[in-house]
Every structure is written in C-alpha cells, then in structure tokens.
C-alpha cells in the first residue's frame, strides 16, 4: 500500500473509531478528509502526517480562522492517535500554535427586521431540486430564533428526538458529547406540528427532522440560506456588521436577560437556567452574551459604518 492510500485508510479508520465511541464526528471528519484530499493532490511529504504537508494545508486556511483552528485540533488528535498505534515520524502540531478565532461582534435585530425576515422566509417557492426547502427553512429559522439553538443542533436534529405532543426536543451530542432536553412553547409546538404534517408527505420515513434529500442540511446551508433571504429582505443593506444566522442565538440570550431585568428578577439567579437551556457547561460561557464590552463594540462598529455611509452622501454637512 502506498503512503497516500495508507493515509486515507488510517484516516477512515480513525473516523470510524470516533463514531464507535458515540461521537457524531461530522465537522472534524470533513477537516480530516480535506487534509487527505490535499495530500493526494501531490502535496504529501516523505512520511505520514508530515510537517510539510500539515503546515501547507493549514496555510490554505489562513483566511478562515474558524476552519484553521478546527483543522489544527483534528490533525493534532489524529497524529497522537497514530503515535499511540506505533507510527513514528508523525508531526504533532504544538499546542497554542493556532490562536482561537476572534468572535465576530453580534448583530442585534430589531423587531421590524425579524418580522420582515420571516415574511421573506415564508415566501420561499417550491423548487424541484431542493424538495421541501420551502417548508424546512422557515421552520429551522424559527427554531433558531425561538430557542437560541446552535445551527448544527437544528440541522442535525433527529426526527425521533422531537416530541411535539410533550413539548420538548432532545439535542444530542451538540458540542462534543454533550446532550440536553429543550422545552418549547405551545405556539412553537403547534407551528412545528403543521410543519411535520406537510413535510411527512414529501419524506415519509426520514431520519432528520429537517431533511435535505436523503440526509440533513450541510454545514454551510443555514448560513448561506440566511444570507440569501436577508439579502432579499434588505437588498440595500450595506452596513459592515451584516447579521448571521448565529445572531439569533445572541438575540435569544440578550432578549431573555433583558426581559428578566425588566421584570425585576435577579438576573444572576436566572443565569443557570439559561446556561442549561443553551447547552453551556459553565456560567462564564452564558455571561459572554451579556458582556457589555462586546455589546458596546458591536454598537460602535454599526455607528461607525453608518457615519461612513453618511459621509459618502453628505460630505458637506459632516466634514
């Protein structure tokens, strides 16, 4: 077996090993297979998982800090796995070589923006190439908005884990091997029951609650469709702080914290409930969404973008 074939075989064995441990291993699997593809295109070095090919591959991700960090973590774990099984001359990426990506500042939706977005979402037309998309996308975005779930949690939600009569969803292996139960409102449950009736006519025995062909929606599908719908809703939206689908999660946390404060509740006492609902392991992760410095930075960026636009069109008055 030549080195390229051996690398692919070992990578697939490692992916199978992780999945047998109970991990879904979807995004890491993509990163590892992408590295294998990179080496098979003639960029492999002299040994399995060698420094030259690893660094060359990571260099291709320099403009995508999230993918760069994720790929480095997967290749580091894969390298340690190979060493444990007797392989030598395997390059292990040193820890802290790749910095954690800096999160983008959140975008804060107005009530009018949310209404307008969902109006456009509900106007999606059927498309034979994307069966059921006009049903799944509005339901997926409503779940993101109403429950503050992660995009991956929505698109990989299993049909068997949705219990609408009882009013809850089971989110399994969201971030790592962590799972939790999410209770939903009767209004959202009623909406999803209507969705269930319609989508079942198109996918009678489906695995995923939001099916795309014979599987679930891909890793970039929610973000791509959000941008497409937002652009339809706001074609002239040119501020630099363009919203993302993930900002529904920020909106959920921020709205609940503000509502509790307005109702006179002790926000610090309520944070543990929000922490569990959002799938965090510690309070500091939840309090991130209430970080006044990040909120102020976001507001200042939006204000700076807006002033820049005004200066373009009203240079005399703002000079």
Rounded Cα–Cα distance for residues 146 and 169 (Å): 13
Tell me what pLDDT residue 66 has. Answer: 84
Closest CA to 171 of 189, 152, 187: 152
Q: Is 108 in contact with 248 (CB distance < 8 Å)?
A: no
58: tokens are: 């990571």
Q: At which residue do the structure tokens 């089971």 appear?
A: 170
Average pLDDT value over all residues in the chain: 85
Over residues 6-60, the pLDDT tens digits come to 899 999 999 999 999 888 788 899 999 999 999 988 765 566 889 999 999 999 9
Domain extent listing, the chain: 3-84, 111-233, 247-318
12: tokens are: 């697939």
Tell me what pLDDT residue 245 has. Answer: 94
The answer for residues whose C-beta is within 8 angstroms of residue 59's C-beta and 6 or more apart is none
Tell me what pLDDT residue 177 has. Answer: 64
Over residues 104-149, the pLDDT tens digits come to 778 889 899 999 999 999 999 999 899 999 999 999 999 999 999 9
R_g of the chain, CA atoms, integer Å: 23
Mean local confidence (pLDDT), 225-237: 91
Tell me what pLDDT residue 196 has. Answer: 97
25: tokens are: 């291993």
The answer for residues whose C-beta is within 8 angstroms of residue 170's C-beta and 6 or more apart is 161, 162, 163, 179, 180, 181, 182
Domain 111-233 CATH assignment equals 1.10.443.10: yes
The sheet carrying 162-163 orders its strands as 162-163, 168-171, 180-183
Rounded Cα–Cα distance for residues 211 and 155 (Å): 8
Q: Is 173 in contact with 179 (CB distance < 8 Å)?
A: yes
């Amino acid at each position: 077996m030549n080195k390229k074939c051996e690398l692919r075989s070992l990578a697939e064995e490692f992916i199978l090993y992780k999945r047998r441990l109970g991990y879904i291993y979807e995004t890491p699997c993509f990163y590892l297979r992408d590295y294998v593809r990179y080496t098979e295109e003639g960029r492999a070095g002299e040994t399995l998982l060698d420094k030259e090919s690893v660094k060359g591959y990571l260099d291709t991700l320099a403009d995508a800090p999230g993918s760069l960090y994720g790929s480095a973590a997967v290749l580091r774990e894969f390298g340690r796995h190979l060493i444990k099984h007797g392989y030598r001359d395997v390059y292990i990426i040193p820890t802290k070589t790749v910095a954690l990506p800096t999160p983008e500042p959140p975008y804060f939706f107005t009530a009018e923006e949310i209404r307008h977005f969902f109006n456009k979402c509900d106007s999606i037309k059927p498309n034979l190439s994307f069966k059921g998309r006009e049903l799944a996308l509005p339901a997926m975005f409503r779940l993101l908005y109403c429950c503050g779930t992660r995009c991956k949690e929505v698109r990989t939600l299993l049909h068997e884990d949705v219990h609408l009569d009882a009013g809850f969803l089971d989110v399994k292996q969201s971030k790592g091997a962590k799972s939790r139960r999410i209770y939903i409102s009767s209004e959202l449950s009623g909406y999803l029951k209507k969705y269930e009736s319609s989508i079942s006519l198109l996918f009678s025995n489906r695995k995923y609650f939001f099916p795309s062909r014979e599987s679930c929606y891909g890793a970039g599908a929610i973000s791509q469709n959000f941008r497409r719908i937002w652009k339809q809703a706001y074609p002239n939206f040119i501020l630099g702080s363009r919203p993302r689908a993930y900002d529904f999660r920020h909106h959920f946390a921020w709205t609940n914290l503000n509502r509790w404060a307005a109702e006179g509740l002790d926000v610090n006492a309520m944070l543990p409930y929000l922490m569990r609902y959002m799938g965090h392991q510690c309070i500091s992760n939840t309090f991130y969404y209430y970080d006044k410095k990040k909120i102020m930075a976001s507001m200042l960026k939006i204000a700076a973008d807006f002033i820049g636009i005004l200066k373009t069109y009203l240079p005399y008055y703002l000079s």
